[in-house]
Amino acid sequence: MDKDVITVTSPLLPDLEEFNKMLRQIWNNKWMTNNGTFHQQLEKALCEYLKVPYISLFTNGTLPLITALQALNISGEVITTPYSFVATTHSLWWNGIKPVFVDIDPATGGIDPERLEAAITPRTTAIMPVHVYGKPCRTAEIQAIADKYGLRVIYDAAHAFGVEVDGKSILAEGDMSTLSFHATKVYNTAEGGALIMRDAKMKQRIDYLKNFGFAGETEVVAPGINGKMDEIRAAYGLLNLRQVDACIEARRQVAVRYREALRPVEGIDFWDDMPGVRHNYSYFPIFVDADKYGMSRDELYFKLRDQGIWARRYFYPLISSFSTYRGLPSATRENLPNATRMADTVICLPIHHELTDADITRILKCIISSYSKKQK
């Protein structure tokens, strides 16, 4: 890649020599997958780091979504958010479930609990919210509605690695939460993911389901899938876990600089940290008000792009506007005004552990120069 290009993120990579030592162990053991030692070690280490009771590792962050729905026998309709990565809704589709889109709360970017009840029908069985950008959803209100109607809650927490509210993991909310360890995420194993559950029985069921449904050598208890993480990526994950805190701190410092510099810029909105929340700074979304800023979101996006700054429009377009889903009754712009506005104004600025002061200055200059031109 062009050296002058600034990408939206950069993968956290383990030290190659350390990784090589672990690879040598794998080579010696010749145990490549199926609950190997590094797989077991990583599950244990992640439970401790994330402060969750049970976790099951997967090959990516999409299979845990699909598997959670299978494990809980979810069918009929599931209420979800259109403001996410497309895998959230795809996981419903792959289970023959009809997605019902509900608008978001502009204060969190997550599903709006106040709009949930109106979307519930006799066919509704679950809610699938997303902690988008790692910002906690209004979990207490969501749970209260789920309890009232007897619905399951599965959180797509792909962005929420390490996020805590008042010292408690956000991943402990709902019936289950999923994580993605894709290379673009704060904590990565190149490809990878996990499912977090509340009890040992569900952990057992998920472990069967991710291994074709095998419970022992000759018994298959359910039509499972192959979702097992291999030893190579588990080793990579163990090494990355040691440095993820430093990575999150480096990201936090980038966020501090962005906020300081962009606060006076009219027409550029962003979020501050939420009180009591340990954020992971996985994304830094800004929202462009074209009238106030003097340039549209897309104009700014392409200006950044021209200058080698590869910011991203996460999440544009909305999932509900893709061809598979746009025909659904809940997919209209009228039903989703807040999500539509957010998708039309958002730019996620580069944020990662290797971003230099010079990079940040270059990005800020590009954003602030357009604004000052308008002021003259």
Applying the rule CB under 6 A, the residues between 236 and 265 that interact with ligand PLP are none
Total residues interacting with ligand PLP, rule: CB under 6 A: 14
Question: Which of 22, 50, 130, 238 lies at the binding interface for ligand PLP (CB under 6 A)?
Answer: 130
Q: CA 49 to CA 226: how far, in whole Å?
A: 26
Query: Under a CB-based contact definition with an 8 Å cutoff, are residues 110 and 163 in contact?
Result: no
Distance CA 217, CA 224 (A): 14
Q: Which two tokens stand for residue 145?
A: 């509605």
CB of 201 to ligand PLP, least distance (A): 26
Rounded least distance, CB 9 to ligand PLP, Å: 11
Q: How many Cβ atoms are within 10 Å of 77's Cβ, its own excluded?
A: 20
Point out the residue whose Cβ comes nearest to ligand PLP.
61
Contact region with ligand PLP (CB under 6 A), list: 42-50, 56-64, 106-114, 253-261: 56-64
Q: Are 161 and 179 in contact (CB under 8 A)?
A: yes
- Give the integer Cα–Cα distance in Å for 77 and 256: 41
Q: Looking only at residues 169 through 208 of this chain, which bind ligand PLP when binding is defined by CB under 6 A?
A: 180, 182, 193
Residues 64-93 binding ligand PLP (CB under 6 A) are 84-85, 87-88
The answer to whether the CB of 163 falls within 8 A of the CB of 131 is yes
State which residue, 82 or 267, has the beta carbon closest to ligand PLP.
Answer: 82
Residue closer to ligand PLP by CB (options 251, 360) is 251
Compute the least distance from the CB of residue 28 to ligand PLP, in Å. 30
One DSSP character per residue, 125-150 reads EEEE-B-GGGPPP-HHHHHHHHHHHT
Q: Which residue has the tokens 């970017």?
A: 109
Which position among 62, 81, 189, 370 is part of the footprint of ligand PLP (CB under 6 A)?
A: 62
Q: Closest distance between ligand PLP and the C-beta of residue 158, in Å? A: 3
Closer of 60 and 335 to ligand PLP (Cβ):
60
As a whole number of angstroms, the distance between CA 157 and CA 145 comes to: 19
205-227 burial, b for 16+ CB within 10 Å, e for fewer? bbbbbbbebbeeeeeeeeebbeb
Query: Binding ligand PLP by CB under 6 A: which of 9, 56, 60, 70?
Result: 60
3-state secondary structure 312-327: ECCCCCCHHHCCCCCC
Identify which of residues 72 and 261 has a Cβ nearer to ligand PLP in the complex: 72
Q: How many residues does the chain have?
A: 376
Q: Closest approach of Cβ 192 to ligand PLP, in Å?
A: 7
C-alpha closest to that of 268 among 303, 296, 304: 296
Are 344 and 239 in contact by the 8 Å Cβ rule? The answer is: no
* Residue nearer to ligand PLP on the CB measure, 46 or 265: 46
CA 263 to chain centre: 26
Closest CA to 63 of 235, 303, 274, 228: 228
Q: In the chain, how long is the greatest CA-to-CA distance?
A: 76
Bridge partners (DSSP) listed for residue 286: 347
Helix axes 63-71, 200-209, angle to 10 degrees: 120
Q: Does 57 bind ligand PLP (CB under 6 A)?
A: no
Shortest reach from residue 60's CB to ligand PLP, in Å: 4
CB of 372 to ligand PLP, least distance (A): 34
Q: Give the strands of the sheet with 268-269, arranged side by side.
A: 268-269, 284-288, 346-349
Tell me if 158 contacts ligand PLP by CB under 6 A.
yes
Q: Which is nearer to ligand PLP, 156 or 230 (CB)?
A: 156
Cβ 311 to ligand PLP shortest distance, Å = 16
The residue range among 21-29, 152-160, 161-169, 286-294 that interacts with ligand PLP, by the rule CB under 6 A, is 152-160
CB of 18 to ligand PLP, least distance (A): 24
User: Is residue 233 part of the contact set for ligand PLP (CB under 6 A)?
Assistant: no
Residue 56 Cβ, how far from ligand PLP at the closest point, in Å?
14
Q: Quick one: 68 or 265, whose CB is closer to ligand PLP?
A: 68
Binding-site ranges for ligand PLP (CB under 6 A): 60-62, 84-85, 87-88, 130, 156, 158-159, 180, 182, 193
